[in-house]
């Protein structure tokens, strides 16, 4: 007589209900996997952030080296600057009341020397004149006149709000093609880089002196040398332009 078939609930192919519902080994494996992923996530974040920081530092260093290297061969002592330039271009550096800051006075002294030796027929001073009460360029004019430069040979750029804008306006507003740029050495590299980017054939003279607080200026300059190449490469527009002004000796506006 044939054995009776197993009932469906006791089929040979079926697993115990407890094992079918829950596999302790599989659940334990998933638990370990989740914990492993949780441990790896912060590590991946740290590695990613670290890589971005390293790339950022390399970018800053690379751009600074590029700006300095491109400008260094164009720096001259005053005596080595010959004639034939359109202007001596002086960048503003703050005023104290009606007097230039020590840094600015050093720049203006070098500019007056270049003018008197015949390097250029006019001086173009550029600085911040954003308010009636604060005018770097008027103070610069007065100082140069005291140094024997005729007022008619000193042109003022009232909207030189930055080094880049000064160079862009010198080319686009004042029509400068060749210039002697005067500022402190730490700043001169970027000034010459910006001048060349604006289409000006420029050489630079590093004015004397290293005033107090130079470390802070050097740190800010590192950031500025990182920013200005992008302004040059994208041909950023200055805050203000205006009608063309010819640099004619003896005819600077009063």
Is the confidence at residue 65, as pLDDT, over 80? Answer: yes
Match 């300059």 to its residue by tokens: 221
% of the chain exceeding 90 in pLDDT = 63
The confidence score (pLDDT) of residue 88 equals: 98
pTM for the complete prediction?
A: 0.77
Domains of the chain: 74-233 (3.40.50.620)
The confidence score (pLDDT) of residue 20 equals: 44
Mean pLDDT of 102-129: 95
Is the confidence at residue 78, as pLDDT, over 60? Answer: yes
CA distances, 68 to each of 61, 63, 137 (Å): 11, 9, 27
Dihedral sign, Cα of residue 71, residue 73, residue 74, residue 76: positive
Tell me the pLDDT tens digit for each residue of 21-35.
455 555 455 555 555
Rounded Cα distance between 234 and 57, Å, is 22
The answer to whether the CB of 191 falls within 8 A of the CB of 126 is no
More confident residue, 57 or 252: 252
The confidence score (pLDDT) of residue 23 equals: 54
The confidence score (pLDDT) of residue 30 equals: 53
Is the confidence at residue 11, as pLDDT, over 50? Answer: no
The confidence score (pLDDT) of residue 56 equals: 73
The confidence score (pLDDT) of residue 212 equals: 64
Tell me the pLDDT tens digit for each residue of 127-186.
987 777 788 999 999 999 999 999 999 999 999 999 999 999 999 999 999 999 999 999
Mean pLDDT of 91-109: 93
More confident residue, 23 or 100: 100
Rounded Cα distance between 156 and 17, Å, is 93
**Average model confidence (pLDDT) across the chain:** 85
How is 142-157 classified by DSSP, letter by letter? HHHHHTT--GGGEEEE
The length of the chain, given as a count of residues: 254
The confidence score (pLDDT) of residue 51 equals: 74
The answer to whether the CB of 149 falls within 8 A of the CB of 123 is yes
In 3-state terms the chain splits into helix, strand, coil percentages (rounded to 5) of 55, 15, 35
């Amino acid at each position: 007589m044939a054995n009776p078939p197993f009932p469906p609930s006791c089929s040979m192919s079926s697993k115990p209900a407890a094992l079918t519902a829950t596999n302790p080994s599989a659940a334990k494996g998933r638990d370990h996997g989740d914990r492993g992923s949780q441990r790896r996530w912060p590590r991946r974040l740290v590695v990613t952030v670290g890589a971005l920081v390293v790339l950022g530092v390399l970018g800053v260093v690379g751009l600074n080296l590029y700006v300095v290297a491109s400008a260094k061969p164009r720096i001259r002592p005053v005596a080595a600057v010959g004639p034939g330039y359109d202007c001596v271009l002086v960048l503003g550096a703050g005023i104290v009341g009606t007097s230039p800051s020590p840094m600015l006075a050093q720049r203006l002294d070098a500019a007056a020397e270049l003018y008197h030796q015949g390097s250029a027929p006019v001086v173009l001073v550029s600085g911040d004149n954003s308010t009636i009460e604060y005018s770097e360029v008027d103070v610069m004019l007065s100082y140069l006149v005291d140094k024997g430069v005729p007022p008619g040979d000193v042109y003022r750029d009232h909207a030189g709000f930055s080094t880049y804008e000064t160079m862009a306006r010198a080319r686009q507003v004042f029509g400068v093609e060749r210039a002697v740029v005067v500022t402190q050495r730490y700043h001169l590299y970027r000034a010459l880089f910006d001048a060349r980017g604006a289409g000006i054939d420029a050489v630079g003279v590093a004015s004397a002196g290293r005033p107090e607080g130079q470390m802070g200026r050097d740190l800010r300059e590192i950031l500025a040398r990182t920013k200005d190449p992008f302004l040059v490469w994208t041909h950023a527009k200055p805050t203000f332009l205006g009608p063309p002004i010819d640099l004619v000796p003896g005819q600077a506006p009063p």
